[in-house]
Structure formats: structure tokens, C-alpha cells
Structure 1
Amino acid sequence: EIDLQAAGAGLSIGEDLTQPVPDLEELPAAEEGEGAEGETWDERVVVVRQGQVHIELQHRSPPMGDAMLLRFCDWLDQQMPLVVQNFPYVRRSGAYVDLSDNVIGPDGLDRLFTVLRTHRVPCVVMKAYRNVLNDSIVDTLIEYLYTQPESFPMHGIHISHNKITDKGAFRLIRAAAQCGHYPRYTTRLPLWLRLECNDIANPQKLIVDCLHENFNVCLMGDGMCSRKDCNHYSGVHVQLPHFFHQQRARQAP
């Protein structure tokens, strides 16, 4: 099991590093600035904590939507050269991104991935639960899974409480199983993927379909996984905790 908090709190890909990374408590990575529409971005939204870039935009008030995230990304694009110059090891240790509990859609999240890729900072953890992401974001995530740095693959994607459908979920699982990065080369750990409470009508059938396609999916409960003999660790492509808890199931009479 992959603990996303643990993945963000330390150097979760330290086994891939060829040089030691300083053990930093917390340092501002960007300068406080103002966006094009007058938003002020506090330096605390982009910090380097224990060797990773943390982009922390969760629980904004008012909630952040695509338009505001796009403006933030324009500001971040200007700040990232300074971040990489001051903390060059973040190109190995990566970014931990938290956009949870907002009203962000596919356009804003796609732009954020583009900014990180432009500055060669891998996204290690993406948390965007409780937003308005639909199947359109799946193309962005699939592209990232296939093109991410081989030595620094993504550890976890948390996009529960959104609007992903059965088709989108299956495509995302298929990409994780076929992109060649999972189980991860060094730790042999799978991709941690949170997809509960989406618009997935038949999660049980989706797991059966994964079995037929030889996608090794683990629901972390005996008898629930795509393989009957799953030990919840060996040879797993994707771990899907709480996957059977979907919005449609909760709303059924």
C-alpha cells in the first residue's frame, strides 16, 4: 500500500537518486506575486519541503476554477526557472500537487501538467479529489503516464469525487498497466489510484474486464481483486482502494 501523505512528506523516490538531497524542512520556492487578474499568490502555495516541490492550492475560498488555475499556471511558469535554479534536485525528487476540494476541470489541470513538463519537474503525486473532472482529463493523464520520466514515475493519482465514467476509468487503468512503468522499476510498487465516488456505473464489471485484459488490479481486499490469487503486492499494476464505492451506488434507492 502506498501512503500518499508519506510519498509527499519525504523523498519517496530516493532509491533513484544518484546524489543525496538536502533534508530541508520548508523553504519558499517562489516569490510572492500578483496574477494578471489581480490575484495575489502567496509564496506558501509553492514551497520546497524535504526535497520536493509542494504546490498547495487545496480548499481555496472561494473555490478555484479553471480560469483561476490557468492564471496561476502562467505565474508558476514564470517562477519555475527560479525554483529549479535554487533547488535543482527537484528535477529528480519531483512535485507533490494538491488541488483538492475546488471546482477545477480538465483545462486547468492539463495546463499545470504542461508547466511541470516544460520545466522537467516530474509530478510524483497528484491530488485533485472533489473537483469537476470528467473523462476529458483522462487523455492528459494517459499522455503523462506514457511520457513520464522512466526513473521517476508517478506514485499516486487521487481523483475521487469527480465525474469520471466507466470508460474513462478503464482507459486510465489500461494506460497504467500498459505504459511500462508499473510495477515501478525500483520498488516494484504499483500506481496508487483513487477513483471512488465518480460516475462509474458498474465497478464490478470493470474489474472483470481488467482480468480479461490481464491488467493486474488490486482492491486491497481478499477476493476483490482482478486476480483471485492477488497478494496485494506482487506484480500489481494499479491499486484501487474503495473502488466499489461510487456515486451511482450511493444514490440508488
Structure 2
Amino acid sequence: MKSSSSRASSYKRGKKITKAEYYLELNQKDTPTYPFYKDPNGNLFFQTRHKLSLAMFILFLIFLITFLLVGFLESWFNNYTFILGALVIIFLFETINYYPVRTYVIEYGKRYQFYKGNVCIVNGPISDIYIRLKKKEEAEKPHYYLVLDGIEIEEVQITYYGKSIPIMRKLGKNIANRLNINYFDIENYSPHHEVIHPGQNTTIDGDFQYNENFSTNCHSFSSENSESFSSFYSSDS
């Protein structure tokens, strides 16, 4: 029996499909709005946690053990205690910043919210969240990927890398259409944009203009479902 990775490189209807395309189609069979899932209230949600926090913790632990060992042998503590204290403060700050689960919520066709842990960062109009195609250069070769981004939220990558821009563009429009949100191509000015929710902060040309009157008030949507939201999302973290 073929593994998932080998099947990802298989042929479909006579055409070889990419890993990004394969896994997206596989997940969308079970969850049409993938990477978002439906919560008990019928809203779409997507959760992620920064992987950087674990790497930072391991690196800091190695550095701290080395520092203490060398400091003990060389009697550095009187001169370098303040350095250790500063590093501890930086580590704690980064841990607090990266540890909470990031939750993205879409009230279909209406609004979106972004949470760090149980803290609501923004509650905005659906026009201000979008799927965007991006490019990364590796070994002088372009690799394309899709991100979820918007005003006052943290950008998050939602697909594997792909080498074919037409395929990745198709996947991006597919995801955006299923989520009923805007799609933007690599370039700010592109005929490939699909803006179905024009808003005050997003122009048809893909220029993301911040509106001074933009509200980040989280109460209008979350107050009605705060109890169920908190219990549901915290249990999934």
C-alpha cells in the first residue's frame, strides 16, 4: 500500500498533482472549509500555535546550562549576573508572546475575529481578512505558498510549498471561495485578485490601507457566545 507521501506525487486524471494540491483536496473531502472547522455555533475557526516557542525554549535551556557551568567554573557570577537576568526576562517575554494558541474565527460572510489564547485581539468586517499567494526563493528557485492574513491578525501559512503558480493560485481561490473571503495574488496590482467583499480598508488593487476609524471591539460578536467559545476552543488547545 502506498504511503501518503508517495500518493501525493501520484497522477490524477493523467496529470501529476503537487503535494499541496493533494493534501488540500484530501482534507477538503472531510472538511469543505479546510483549514477552518465549524464550532457548535456554526462559525468557522482555525487554530495554530507558534512552533518557534519550543525551539527557543530548547536553545535557551542549552545556553543557560552552559552559562551556569562556565560561570561556576570561572566565577563569573558577580560580573555577569545582570546578563543572566536580562536573558531570563527576554525568554519569559518571548514565551508569553508565542505560547498562547492563535485562534481565527469567521462568522460566515459577516465578520472575523482573532484571539491569542482567550484574549480577543480584533473583531472586524469580513472584507479585512483574506487568502494571499506568496513566493519564497530557495536555491534560486521560486516556491509558492498560501497564507491567511488580514488587519490586526498574525499571518499564518496554510499550505505546503508548491512550484506551480497556476496550481497554487487555483488552490488559493478555491479556499477563499469556500470561506467566502477575499483572495489576493502575489502582486499588489494583479488581474488575479478576487475581491468579493470590498471594504474601507482593502482596495480592489490589493493596497491594504489602514482606516483610523477601524474598530477592534470584540464584544459585539463574542459576548453572545463567550461561554461556549471559551470552553470549546480551550478544550481543543
Taking structure 1 as the reference length, the TM-score comes to 0.26
Bigger Rg, structure 1 or 2: 2
Taking structure 2 as the reference length, the TM-score comes to 0.27
